[in-house]
């Protein structure tokens, strides 16, 4: 492994550990939010993932980007309401769009303000919540998007969805 690559890996691991360097704390407004992409449901499907390893989707994904949808046994309105409640307690996450069958949210990282877009689709004919989460910028997110979706799944399961 090259010295530069090893150094970058060490920095990435240090940043993902939650440590916030004092120098960055002194730079208010430093953010890497990126532009909000055009998302939503088209023909009953969430958008496919790009080739980068920082996206997960439960519909039509290849093996490198696939995640299972969330099953629920309640009625769709109750499932959607529980999902919104869970999203409101996910740190630095804001619900942007909410309709009967679709929720879009964004999560902002504590360090440097990287933004991930989250989408949830509740088709009327199924008892499933399809999900998608992707980083707006960069190649790798060190697994953050998948972990966030799995934490949301577990929270919903704990609430008896």
The domain that contains 152 carries what CATH number? 3.30.310.80
Residue 139 lies in a domain: yes
Mean pLDDT of the chain, nearest integer? 85
Residue 149 lies in a domain: yes
Residue 21 lies in a domain: no
- For 40-88, what is each residue's pLDDT tens digit? 899 999 999 999 999 999 999 999 999 999 999 999 999 999 999 999 9
Residue 50 lies in a domain: yes
DSSP code string of 72-139:
--S-HHHHHHHHHHHHHHSTTEEEEEE-SSEEEEEEE-TTTT-EEEEEEE--TTSSEEEEEEEESSSS
Q: Give which of 64, 50, 66, 57 is closest to 129, Cα–Cα.
A: 57
Q: Which has the higher per-residue pLDDT, 20 or 138?
A: 138
Residue 106 lies in a domain: yes
Residue 28: the pLDDT is: 53
Confidence of residue 103 (pLDDT cuts 50, 70, 90): very high
Rounded to whole angstroms, how far apart are CA atoms 13 and 7? 10
Structure-token match 């998007």, residue found: 145
* Domain residue limits at 140: 32-158
Number of domains composing the chain = 1
């Amino acid at each position: 492994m090259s010295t530069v690559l090893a150094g970058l890996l060490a920095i990435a691991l240090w940043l993902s550990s939650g440590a916030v360097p004092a120098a960055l704390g002194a730079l208010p407004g430093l953010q890497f939010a990126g532009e909000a992409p055009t998302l939503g449901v088209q023909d009953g499907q969430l958008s496919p993932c790009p080739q980068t390893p920082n996206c997960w989707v439960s519909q039509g994904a290849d093996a490198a980007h696939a995640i299972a949808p969330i099953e629920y046994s309640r009625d769709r309105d109750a499932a959607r309401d529980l999902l919104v409640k869970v999203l409101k307690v996910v740190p630095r996450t804001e619900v942007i769009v909410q309709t009967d069958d679709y929720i879009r949210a964004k999560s902002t990282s504590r360090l440097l303000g990287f933004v991930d877009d989250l989408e949830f689709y509740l088709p009327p004919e199924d008892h499933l919540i399809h999900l998608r989460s992707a980083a707006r910028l960069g190649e790798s997110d060190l697994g953050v998007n998948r972990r966030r979706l799995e934490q949301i799944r577990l929270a919903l399961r704990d609430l008896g969805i």
